[in-house]
A and B are shown apart, each in its own frame.
Chain A
Amino acid sequence: MAIKERMSGNEAVAFAIKQVNPDVMPAFPITPSTELPQFVSNYVANGKIDTEFIPVESEHSSMSAAMGASAAGARALTATSSCGLALMWEMLYVAASSRLPIALALVNRGLTGPLNINCEHSDSMGARDSGWLQVYAENNQEAYDNFIMAYRVAEHKDVRLPIMTCMDGFITSHAVENITLIEDDLVKKFVGEYEPEHYLLNEEEPMAVGPYAVSNYCMEAKRAQAQGMMNAKQVFLDVAKEFEQISGRKYGLFEEYKLDDAEYAVVGIGSAMGTAKDAIDALRAKGIKAGLLKVRVFRPFPGEEMAAALAGCKAIAIMDRCESYSGNGGPLGAELTSALYRAKSKAEIINVVYGLSGRDVKVEDFENLYGELADIAVNGVKDTQYRYLGLRE
């Protein structure tokens, strides 16, 4: 029987880590993810798990140590936020190109500056082209579920890529909410033992990890890595299907909420999408056909699938909790707009930057946004296509 509990997002992911019991966790603390290494080191100290916890001196070192452990053949993970992820930058690319299925529990927080500790997706979005799989959560339940599914996708022989499981800093990581947990033995059976095909500690097969590749071979290596990313789409779906059998919870590459017959759609990522659902219910009660597409898997990017799901919409607001300083909108806006263009979408599209540095977003903000979409559907996009929500004037 499923276990009804209440816990914060950080507690939930730490509990998932405990159930998975990975081999090695090097970590360096940073708000708001600090509780993750804190809780896990408690589990270790109390003998609940036999994970090797390594308190390192920086995030550059935590990712390096995770890579060393993973290359040796261990199941490795770390956790971080914001500037901590930025300090891992060099290593992120090496982990992905070395095809090391490391898990990184990321608690989203904006990158400095101005210095701020609150939620924004600029940290993980900055790493979107580093070759890592990325999966996002709306709440503590999804953060927990995503972590339990993480290694199954990352370690799959058709994928073999590191995975970032992301949740919103404070809003999800520090809020206590209801959650349904899965029994230890079911989780253990679902995740299984890690059996790497190639690893450094295998004396039968001497090998090098991360050597220089001459131009004659380097491009092929990169193309092979891209194939792993493309293959991950199907693996995410297959793993989710299996996960449904032990949890009763259904996951896809994205979630559609009242999108079937929607004329106006919001597309976005993370905790604010729960708030959008309440706005949709209120609008539907008034006969307004509002719907939501919530992105779960951002890498690989399910552009074609999302464009197909949005095919019936007249006006779409693509939401970015991130300013990419391109002068042309945010990352989700740019990528989804291009996918919609390729799908020959006729919808009017706006790209909305919101929630930077923890700026709150309310039900009425979404209600107003849907009102704007209804106007745009009739009169077209009047002002700039790329705009801000909740900005003080």
Chain B
Amino acid sequence: MRELIEIRWHGRGGQGAKTAALLLADVAFNIGKHVQGFPEYGPERMGAPITAYNRISDNEIRVHSNIYDPDFVVVVDETLLEIVDVTNGLKEDGAILVNTSKPKEEIIPHLKGYKGKLYTIDARKVSMEALGKYFPNMPMLAAIVKISEVMDTDRFMDEMEASLKHKFAKKPEVLEGNMKALWMALEEVK
């Protein structure tokens, strides 16, 4: 893993991008990393574009600014590609992950000439199949963990299972659906 990984999340209010960023901070903390997980706050409401951030490092993190030159960008809602400059500052040796059912060729024109890697995943399909509802954040979380190599994916799944077991102690069916969504996403991201 890189010494410091910086991730920027773009989503819409209600899609769980902030929750995913905080969950990523949680699991990275559990494997002994220094972490930051924080949203950028404005007049939030359902459907409005939001940004969240992660820093994950082997060393103490003292910087408290937003992230301008991320290693990775996660686009939770593909309609944002047209209204937000998602590749702004994104490092060329990094990657962008987009939630879409479209082939990559149709996404590339929206990336303003970004030369790094593009990964896609159909988080809607994964979520509907695993949970029966559209919660894109869990598939996106699993996909970015795999792409960024922030941690071993087996370890990630173990940590997520423990964390979700605790969180949904009284709703085992939610645990099962979410674990399935994570597994599927690890397979489906390309």
A residues neighboring B (CB under 8 Å) = 6, 32, 117-118, 139, 168, 170-172, 174-178, 271-272, 274-275, 277-278, 358, 360-363
Contact = CB atoms under 8 A, between A and B. Distances in A.
Given A6-B25, A168-B64, 5 more contacts: A6-B29, A118-B41, A271-B64, A275-B65, A362-B68
A34 B106 CA distance: 44
Contacts of B60: 178
Contact of A272 (B22, B41, B64): B64
A175 B37 contact: yes
A362 B26 CA distance: 25
Interface in B1-60: 22, 25-26, 29, 34-39, 41, 60
A360 B26 contact: no
Contacts of A275: 62-65
Contacts of B38: 170-171, 174-176
A176 B25 contact: yes
10 contacts: A6-B25, A32-B41, A139-B62, A172-B64, A176-B37, A272-B64, A274-B62, A278-B62, A278-B63, A362-B68
Which 6 A-B pairs give the minimum distances between C-beta atoms?
Answer: A175-B38, A274-B62, A6-B29, A271-B64, A176-B37, A362-B65
Given A6-B26, A6-B29, A174-B41, A360 B66 contact: yes
B162 interface: no
Given A6-B25, A6-B26, A117-B41, A363 B65 contact: yes
B63 A177 contact: no
B169 interface: no
A316 B68 CA distance: 28
B36 A177 contact: yes
Contacts of A272: 64-65
Contacts of B65: 272, 275, 360-363
B61 interface: yes
A178 B29 contact: yes
A52 B26 CA distance: 32
A176 B22 contact: yes
A277 B37 CA distance: 20
A177 B53 CA distance: 12
A120 to B, nearest CB: 13
B63 A274 contact: yes
B64 A178 contact: no
A178 B66 CA distance: 17
A277 B65 CA distance: 12
A170 B37 contact: no
Contacts of A277: 62
A168 B26 CA distance: 22
A255 B115 CA distance: 43
B62 A171 contact: no
A385 to B, nearest CB: 26
B50 to A, nearest CB: 13
Contacts of A178: 29, 34-35, 60-61
A11 to B, nearest CB: 11
A250 to B, nearest CB: 15
A168 B65 CA distance: 12
Interface in B52-96: 60-66, 68
Contacts of A361: 65
